Amino acid sequence: MDIQKLSEEITLFSSTTHGSSDYDKDEYFIMSADRKEFAPFKYLQKKLPEYKDINSLLRVGFVYDSFELSNNEAFQVWFEKQFSKKLLRRDAKKISIVYTPNNKMILDQIGLINKSYEVLGQEQILLNGKNLPTQLGEWYAKCIFGLKQVKSTSQRGFDFVMGEEGKRVEIQVEWSDASSPKGVKIKKTLVDLSDYCIIIYVAKNFMIREVCFLDSEYVSRKFSNKGHTIFLKDSDVSSYFFSKSSKHFDKIINPITFLKYASPNLAMKLSEKLSSQG
């Protein structure tokens, strides 16, 4: 797919207003690399038929967020100028912003953060910094599996959903170079509310050391007899690690990003398995 052509079409669309069109009702708006221009996906599909669905963009490195979570003030200004109308809250809630992350900048910053964590840890200043690793792990999952992040109807802030059918996904992030003997802790209520459970194992250097993809029904059936909290030990779920099993490889939307942020050891195993998948 020609990303340059895509960029040119976004610029072309933004060069004139479209108040008489119905493009304002689109669900997906593709953002340019400089974050200043946008184009509705329905328009781009007409101009570039190779983009047959949103997954065709996700597969080549794009990710998407609901507009409510994107904090993108430029989009509202652009929208109201393009369509000569106010962006109402009820319409904004339906919109997703699709974009390409600046992977080089992100990797550079991850390296700097890792160095900072090492220094602050050695000086006994930073003893519990899991908030950043958790959010980074969730972002990894969102990119790899093409998840949509939306505001939650509960008090948890937001949910992750997968695919057109809107399957609910529970993400757990384990930040360490080796798993705890007790296993990854997950609340039974969150398993019961989800269709899939994804565990992202993030190494201390913030790269992905492993991924485990589980059906929530399987987790409930096998582990729910142990109270309100479930502990998923490596010995119980390692057969579903992506380094060992290809069972859920069909759920991977963006293998490029997966390999980019995987640890060298995992990337080598994934590359072999993804190649064998055809």
Say if residue 145 is in the same domain as residue 265. yes
* Cα(17)–Cα(211) distance, integer angstroms: 45
On whether residue 261 sits in a domain, the answer given is yes
On whether residue 252 sits in a domain, the answer given is yes
Give me the pLDDT at residue 70, please: 78
User: What does the pLDDT look like over 24-42, one tens digit per residue?
Assistant: 999 999 999 988 999 999 9
**Domain ranges, residue 237:** 128-276
196 neighbors 170 (Cβ within 8 angstroms): yes
User: 193: domain CATH number?
Assistant: 3.40.210
On whether residue 76 sits in a domain, the answer given is yes
**What's the domain count of the chain?**
2
User: What does the pLDDT look like over 115-160, one tens digit per residue?
Assistant: 998 888 888 776 666 678 998 999 999 999 999 888 776 655 678 9
Residue 18 to residues 25, 47, 49, 80, 172, Cα–Cα distance (Å)? 12, 16, 21, 10, 43
Q: Domain boundary residue among 60, 79, 99? A: 99
pTM of the model: 0.86
* Cα(57)–Cα(164) distance, integer angstroms: 14
